[in-house]
Amino acid sequence: MSNIVDPSADSLAARIAARVRTERERRRWTLAQLADASGVSPAMISRIERGESSPTAVVLGKLSAAFQIGVASLLALAEGGPDAMAGPAAGAAGVRRGPDAAEWCDPGTGYRRRQITGPRFPAEIAEIRLPAGARVPYPAAAFAFVRQLVWVLDGRLTFHDGETVHELDAGDTVELGPPAERVFANTTDAECRYAVVLTRDARP
């Protein structure tokens, strides 16, 4: 699967690239400073920001950990586009049709994420499709400042929460505690579909 992004396309990948650059510049960090904080090379970060390379879920986890905003928040901000906060007024009903929801696909594993809620909703809800055999690790810092629940909808999810491993079947949920290194793995031969529900404790 190609990881080259067309920088002229109005794609989610291009918006993720713009969001990474925005978050770095908002902190007045150089590429080298973000590289030191995230463990991602300056060359890779530069390619991502220029839209020449699409980051994998693992790389996004490292970048979001450096920004201390959480992977879900980083993707949700990108999915909302530049006018995300100018959406429906508080209290107004907003309808989002299924085909209109942005979907992000990890070029490394085929993991797919679809944002369910809009930017003004007080919780972030996303639907994840994890292919058979896929394994997506995240550093502990990617879970800073958030409270999160994982709800398995179809299939089986092997969820590593620090030193603990949970085998979760359809209908099972797990509420995450303090930040820890975590791995979402599908050790079966069928797709696993789950939902992630996230609220923020505080902003960095």
Please determine, for residue 121, whether its predicted confidence score (pLDDT) is greater than 70.
yes
Quote the tokens at residue 150.
């994982």
So what's the pLDDT on residue 69? 80
Q: What is the pLDDT of residues 30-83, one digit of tens each?
A: 999 999 999 999 999 999 999 888 888 889 889 988 998 877 777 766 765 443
Query: Which residue do the tokens 């995450």 mark?
Result: 176
Q: List the CATH code of the domain at 12-80.
A: 1.10.260.40
Range 98-200: architecture per CATH: Sandwich (2.60)
Distances in Å between the Cα of 197 and the Cα atoms of 25, 32, 88, 187 are: 28, 33, 21, 23
Helix, strand, coil percent values for the chain (each to nearest 5): 30, 25, 45
So what's the pLDDT on residue 37? 93
Domain locations in the chain as residue ranges: 12-80, 98-200
Q: pLDDT-based confidence at 4, cuts 50/70/90?
A: very low
The model carries a pTM of 0.77
So what's the pLDDT on residue 182? 95
Question: What rounded mean pLDDT belongs to the chain?
Answer: 83
So what's the pLDDT on residue 109? 92
Residue 116 · residue 125 · CB < 8 Å: yes
Q: What is the pLDDT of residues 132-171, one digit of tens each?
A: 999 999 988 888 778 899 999 999 999 999 999 999 999 9
So what's the pLDDT on residue 17? 87
Furthest C-alpha separation in the chain = 45
